[in-house]
Amino acid sequence: MAKQPPLDVRGRTTVITGAAAGMGADVARQLAARGARIALLDRNPEGLAAVAATLDGTGHTTHVIDLTDDDAVSAAVAEVEASHPRIQALVTCAGSSMLGDIDQVTMAEMRWLMDVNLWGTVNVTQALLPALRREPAAHITHLVSIYGLAAPAGRIPYAMSKFAVRGFTESLRHELERSTITVGAVYPAGVKTGIILHGRYAAAIDPAVAQRAAAAQAAMYHTEPADAAARIVEATIRRRPRTMIGREARLVDVLARVTPTHYWAPMRRPLRDAIDTTTPVR
């Protein structure tokens, strides 16, 4: 497939999920600064309003939505299309985390995370495809994770959801390869968004233990959200199929390809404290 020309975002709309905070908010600000119109989607109305107030330009809209609710997604997309006749890009930043090993997490907890991370992404993507197809050039960017490249212990629900998002993204890219829509995956590692500190943990875990594990994971994060957002914006405009954010993502990508059955050995020690959800806090 020939290389696609970059998007001209001026006056055209990008839809961003998870736009009330973190990378989604910074992606919105950076695209608005380039002249794009933004449709911000999130379940947090106060956060959406606060982010919208910081955007350059006009024509931006906010939409409160639960991405796991099929009817709510259909209604929100209809609202977006009514306000934005030229929808050029979708960036899916919405997601959550889950701490706990297989003996601690319940099926209900795992299903909840899959609903948020996978089905929320699939739902809004499928709903927006008709609008994206009407543009002469469009792009979909899905945020995956370093844990969509390599699956650590203690993160089964999260790794499952992110490997699934990766599979969805790659299959969709192949399905749309003869269309005007390109599809890309972004693999961030260690972005200081607070997702791990504010994410969920299995109800079976002592809250103090969960807090310790989350803090250990967060201490490994080095990339500022605005820097990660700049990479996401560039990947979207350049319509890149695969983007790594952070040195760790590039290293893990190589490691998982070089030794697909033994990559956990060098990862285990750095993640030791972050995956420990059983040792009592003393």
| Main-chain dihedrals φ then ψ at residue 151, nearest 5 degrees | -105, 115
Q: Is residue 4, in this structure, part of any structural domain at all?
A: no
pLDDT below 50 — which residues of the chain?
Answer: none
| Domain ranges, residue 118 | 13-268
Q: Is residue 126, in this structure, part of any structural domain at all?
A: yes
Q: Is residue 279, in this structure, part of any structural domain at all?
A: no
pLDDT at 222: 84
Spatial distance between the Cα atoms of 176 and 206, rounded to a whole number of angstroms: 46
Burial of 248 (0-12, 13-18, 19+ CB in 10 A): buried
Q: Is residue 250, in this structure, part of any structural domain at all?
A: yes
Residue 145 and residue 162 in contact, taking contact as beta carbons nearer than 8 Å = yes
pLDDT at 1: 52
* Residue 183 CB coordination number (10 Å): 24
Q: Is residue 282, in this structure, part of any structural domain at all?
A: no
DSSP readout, 218-267?
Answer: HTT--B-HHHHHHHHHHHHHTT-SEEEESHHHHHHHHHHHH-TTTTHHHH
Q: Of the candidates 12, 30, 7, 15, which has an alpha carbon nearest to the alpha carbon of residue 229? A: 30
Q: Is residue 2, in this structure, part of any structural domain at all?
A: no
**Model-level pTM?**
0.95
Domain count, the chain: 1
Spatial distance between the Cα atoms of 243 and 135, rounded to a whole number of angstroms: 24
Q: Is residue 273, in this structure, part of any structural domain at all?
A: no
pLDDT at 196: 78
Spatial distance between the Cα atoms of 181 and 259, rounded to a whole number of angstroms: 33
Q: Is residue 258, in this structure, part of any structural domain at all?
A: yes
**What CATH number corresponds to the domain at position 79?**
3.40.50.720
